[in-house]
Amino acid sequence: MKLSPLAVALTSLAAPVAFANESTPVAPVNVGIERLIISGSRIPEQLDEVPSSVTLIDSDTLLKDMTVSAELQNLLAFRVPGMSPSTGTSSNAGQTLRGRKALVLIDGVPQSTPLRNGSLDIRTLDINAIERVEVIKGATSVYGNGAAGGIINYITKKPSADGKMHGLLGVSSRFSAVKFEDSAGGRLEAALDGNINDFGYVISASRDEYGLQRDAEGDVPGAIYGLSETTSDNLFSKFRYDFDDEQSLQLTYNYFAAAQDTDLVDVTGSVNSGTKTYAIRRPAGSSAKGEPQGPDGNQNLVLKYEHLALFEHTALSLDAYSQTIDNVFFYSQDLSNPSEGFDGGQSIILSKKQGARANFSSGFELGSTALDLIYGVDYLEDVSSQPLVDGRVWVPEMDMQNLAFYLQTKWVIADDWVLKGGVRRDDMSVAVDDYQTLKLCNSAKICSNPLQVKGGTMEFDATTYNLGLRYNGIEGFSPFISFSQGSDVSDLGLLLRSATVNDITKIQTQASLIDNYEAGFSGDWQALHYAAAIYLSQSELGTRTVLNPATGIYEPVRAPQEIRGYELELAYRADDALLVGGNYSYVEGKDTDKDIYLDGQAITPPKLTLFMDWDPSEALSLSLNWLYVGDRERFAPVNGKYSGSQGPVSSYDVLNLAASYKLSDWQFSLGVENLLNEDYYSARSQAFTFAGYNTKGLGTTVNLGVKWSF
């Protein structure tokens, strides 16, 4: 991997810093709530009791990064080793976790639509409502289907415990420093929380209105999944009543919507020709086709009851949830059918989930050994489909019923050894009515052939296991080793819509069983924190797509996959005011059946990040964050052209600046994204050869804001 001149300069600047993974947060955090996570086994546990890689992004880091951008894709791409670089759009397609899809959760409730993955799940909640983010890496079955690469759990804010009312009002404006014209947007946010006797509440609301995004040359990136002239609204509320010290009832509601209502049209470039895609105003007299793209009012409602002493040594957490998702995608000519009068189309992913979960945890002391048992049952109904706005059906309705039982054990032996093991049994069925595949035409002469497919019920049964061991008996050095499995039937809809047989029982719809092996260590020596991990992820079935030249349609291929990689982390506190650090991650994968490298939909280039946080006074805070993405060229062009997601990726780097100043109850902030105005294509833009995806990243963009807290 060759480093750019900027990389060399910043590496010299942060001389104590090497690279990084994350069995603990990127930066050391205070002992207390920030050292606890709940995502790994559904109960609070210390980070040093988790025998696997975890990234914890605390509230201070969230607030600091929000100064530059409120987009969670950007924040996660920088802070989480093993996660692909940000796409710079509203979509996280191609943004994987260790080469596989991650399951996105809000307080443990799934936000992803694994039956038909639309890759809009990372952007489902405003950062203003989040207390911290927990990322568990590697295949896991703790929360069920869809976590082939791990889980990303947004832990939302809780009412303050001091009995007082707390509030926040904020306003900011984000604009291009390259070309200001029509680029200014506005953000409003407000939050209120507190307690009245035994009743606690959190209410958060935000609105983001984007102006025109602009790249380093002042052009507007393409409108496909674009953020230009997009308006996002989020309303989050949480109400909690404590019956006594042991029992509580909590109701949470989240509403998120985003719509790109614009008259922009794309001037489509090509990876193969080396020309970028950019957007211009629609010619006078022409009208927009389709509806504004984006989540059209996604909603979550969760009712949770907790009893901390249901029986002796046993606690209960019981919740029921309901979710509706309505994600509208961009208008595409690839969905045309001239013979029926359709010159294009626009799809919608619809998903309705209803679920209930009972989680028990029991703790025992057995001499010098502490034993925790976590066990329970999950039920989920997920009805998902992908129709078109014009009434055609692309993916038929899939009705999934999933009942699962699980047991997780944790043994803490003589305070030094932590042994965890568990099992989960999933019984799943997916019912699909008879349907006909959609006739789609890339041109008047190249069309797919519609096929009548007999429906039925598909049964998926899987038993998955996990086992891990961590040793804390050596001061400053804590090694771990683990094995975990996940059962994944994600993107079944992609298989159904591309069916080439007349009966769903003949479609290769089997669940993928992912085996994840990992070893690593973490530790602290004086002011230095370090961590590393190496992993191997294997599955007998994966999903990749190849172009069928006869129809012009990309079709899924099921084949064995092997993904391996490593992650490194280092952070050094020079003094009370200065913290420097960084992380490095490398991942590579192959279709082992044909010894073919996996493409850019799964695997991205090596990634290096460095940061420097300087707080010269209690009032002033300054941060520099640098991202370097390396090269990946694994595929040769065919007849002079790359296809699918096999485009070559060349290196680039981006430097961001965040600054804030506190004055009494006021905080003034300045964020600059791409400080040096790097002219680059994102890793996804280079790898994806699909029309309209090769857009450039943002040029220098400024974010000015002020917040008032009380």
> Comparing 7-16, 482-491, 554-563, which segment has the lowest mean pLDDT?
7-16
The pLDDT of 112-136, averaged and rounded, is 93
Round to whole Å and give the CA distance between 95 and 119. 9
pLDDT(678) > 90 = yes
pLDDT(329) > 50 = yes
Round to whole Å and give the CA distance between 25 and 522. 11
pLDDT score, position 551: 61
What percent of the chain stands above pLDDT 90?
82
Torsion of CA 387, 388, 394, 399, to 10 degrees: 0
Contact 216, 680 (CB under 8 A): yes
pLDDT score, position 490: 72
The pLDDT of 378-393, averaged and rounded, is 96
Predicted confidence (pLDDT) per residue in 687-700, tens digit: 999 989 999 999 99
The pLDDT of 372-393, averaged and rounded, is 97
pLDDT score, position 40: 83
Contact 611, 580 (CB under 8 A): yes
The pLDDT of 576-588, averaged and rounded, is 97
When the pLDDT of each residue in the chain is averaged and rounded to a whole number, the result is 91
User: How far is CA 356 from each of CA 116, 319, 359, 381, 676, rounded to the nearest angstrom?
Assistant: 22, 6, 10, 9, 50
Most confident option among 40-44, 117-121, 163-167, 230-234: 230-234
Predicted confidence (pLDDT) per residue in 175-216, tens digit: 999 999 999 999 999 999 999 999 999 999 999 999 999 999
Sheet containing 220-221, strands listed edge to edge, beginning at the edge strand earlier in sequence = 220-221, 278-281, 264-267
Fold classified for 5-556+572-592+608-709? Maltoporin; Chain A (2.40.170)
- The single-letter code of the amino acid at 404 is A
User: How far is CA 533 from each of CA 20, 22, 39, rounded to the nearest angstrom?
Assistant: 9, 8, 19
According to DSSP, residue 154 is labeled E
Number of C-beta neighbours around residue 589 at 10 A: 24
pLDDT score, position 511: 83
The pLDDT of 64-74, averaged and rounded, is 94
For residue 697, which phi and psi values (nearest 5 degrees)? -75, 170
| Interacting residues of 636 by C-beta distance below 8 A, sequence separation 6+ | none
- Of 683, 663, 675, 513, the C-alpha closest to 587 is 683
Contact 254, 300 (CB under 8 A): yes
For residue 140, which phi and psi values (nearest 5 degrees)? -145, 150
pLDDT score, position 501: 87
- The C-alpha angle 403, 404, 408, rounded to 5 degrees, equals 165
Give the max Cα distance, the chain: 81
User: How far is CA 301 from each of CA 105, 236, 287, rounded to the nearest angstrom?
Assistant: 13, 10, 38
Count Cβ atoms within 10 A of the Cβ of residue 352 and give its class: 0-12 exposed, 13-18 middle, 19 or more buried: middle
The pLDDT of 228-242, averaged and rounded, is 97
pLDDT(548) > 80 = no
- The C-alpha angle 177, 584, 134, rounded to 5 degrees, equals 85
H-state helical runs in 514-562: none
pLDDT score, position 568: 97
Q: What pLDDT band is residue 512 in, cutting at 50, 70 and 90?
A: confident
pLDDT score, position 554: 59
pLDDT score, position 555: 66
pLDDT score, position 2: 40
- The single-letter code of the amino acid at 568 is L
> Comparing 7-21, 615-629, 649-663, which segment has the lowest mean pLDDT?
7-21
Using a cut of 0.85, tell me whether the model's pTM lies above it: yes
Predicted confidence (pLDDT) per residue in 254-297, tens digit: 999 999 999 999 999 999 999 999 999 999 888 888 899 999 99
> Comparing 108-117, 372-381, 383-392, which segment has the lowest mean pLDDT?
108-117
Strands (E), 333-415: 345-366, 369-387, 393-413
Strand partners, 530: 523, 570
Q: What pLDDT band is residue 16 in, cutting at 50, 70 and 90?
A: very low
Contact 226, 264 (CB under 8 A): yes
Number of C-beta neighbours around residue 296 at 10 A: 17
Q: Indicate the helix (H) or strand (E) that contains 221.
A: strand 220-221
pLDDT score, position 248: 97
